[in-house]
Structure 1
Amino acid sequence: MSEAREWMVQWLRDAHAMEEQAETMLSGQINRLDSYPELRERIRVHLDETRQQAKRLRQCLEQLGEDTSAMKDFSGKLTAMGQAFSGFFSSDEVMKGSLASYTFEHMEIASYTILIAAAEAIGENEVARVCLQNLREEEAMAEWLGDHLAPTTKMFLSRDEADSGAAKR
């Protein structure tokens, strides 16, 4: 196995773990966004995309005769559970969640950009195609979140002004 292929396989495993982490993180957020129905719905849609992204990455690894990294997947999920749990006690959870999600989307965008370049460099066109599909979904989510940061902030602040503590979430 070439060194370039080994790197790409490692990065595919990292991306799979990243999607497992994203699934856990999004699942934790979605149940606490009743007062933000538009955000909740977009996260629900992206959660479905995230599950498909992980599945596609797993299939790429299998086609290469490789498997996912159970340790990386577990570590990512554990980190996400900690993030979700810590946000639960924050009165500005929706804002911290928005910030974390926007940041995480950009990390995913960078990861897929790297994977596409690696796959193209070693002639793994199917891996490049799958990663491009995942990249487009991540870019769309990042754009949506970016477009909605200001409105979400204003909604949060107006609810804070009204002193409706339960509605902040």
Structure 2
Amino acid sequence: MTTIERQLVGYLKDAHALQEHVEAVLSEMLTTVASVPDICRPLGHYADRSRRHTREIEARLHAHRTSPSLVRDAGALFAAVLDAGLGRTRRDPTGRHIRDAYVAVHLQIAAGEMLRRVAERAGDGETAAVAAAMCDDAYAMSRELSDRWDLAVELSLRQHGVQNVPPPPREDDR
């Protein structure tokens, strides 16, 4: 295996571990926001696409005659379980989950962009295409979440007992 192929496999394993982590976090988030369709619906669609990307990354690992890293995946899964456990004790699960989803999506973008670029330089168009699709979905989810910041704040304030949540300021007032 050449040096660039080793790098590519390393990025594939990293992407797989991150996907496993994000899937676990999304599962917890979907439980928390189940009663909020404006958030649950896009997160649910994104979770479905993320599972598909995980399978595609696994297929690319197998094409390179390797498999996901159990150590990386176990670490990511442990972190996700820890996050989920901590999330239950927070008083503001919806607001924090939306924030955490936004961060996770941007980690996926970073992992996908690195994977795509290494794959292109290694001449692996199939892996580059998988990474590009992963990035496209993550960029779209980032926009979806960005469009819901005011809703996240409103839900957060309500969870903290604010009865009459003031509306967000108008754009020209900001």
Q: TM-score, normalised by structure 2?
A: 0.89
SS in 1 for 2:61: helix
1:47–1:148 CA distance, 2 compared to 1 (3 A): same
- Worse-superposed segment, 53-62 or 64-73: 64-73
Per-residue deviation, 1:74: 1.4
CA shift, 1:84, in A, is 1.1
Match of 2:30 in 1: 30
**SS of residue paired to 1:35:** coil
Could you say which residue in structure 2 is the equivalent of 1:161? 162
**Other-structure match for 1:167:** none
Q: Deviations over 1:61-94 (max 9, x none)?
A: 1111111111111111110111011011111111
- SS of alignment partner, residue 31 of structure 1: helix
Matched-pair contact (CA < 8 Å) for 1:28–1:81: no
Instruction: State the match for 2:80 in structure 1.
Output: 80
Aligned residue type for 1:78: F
Q: Deviations over 1:94-115 (max 9, x none)?
A: 1111111101111110111111
Q: For residue 98 of structure 1, what is the aligned residue in structure 2?
A: 98
Is the CA contact (8 Å cut-off) linking 1:15 and 1:57 kept in structure 2?
yes
Cα RMSD for the two superposed structures: 1.4
Distance 1:142 1:49 in 2: 14
Partner Cα separation in structure 1 for residue 45 and residue 84 of structure 2: 19
Matched, 1:124 2:124: yes
| Structure 2 gaps, min length 5 | 165-174
SS at match of 1:113: helix
Question: What secondary structure does 1:85 align onto?
Answer: helix
Which secondary structure state, in structure 1, belongs to the residue aligned with residue 32 of structure 2?
coil
Partner amino acid, structure 1, of 2:74: F
Report the residue type matching 2:162 in the other structure. Answer: E
Per-residue deviation at 1:2?
Answer: 1.2
Q: Which runs of 5+ in 1 are unaligned?
A: 164-169
Q: Distance in 2 between matches of 1:34 and 1:17?
A: 26
Query: So what's the TM-score if we normalise by structure 1?
Result: 0.91
Aligned to 1:47: 47
- In 1: Cα distance, 2:155 partner to 2:76 partner: 31
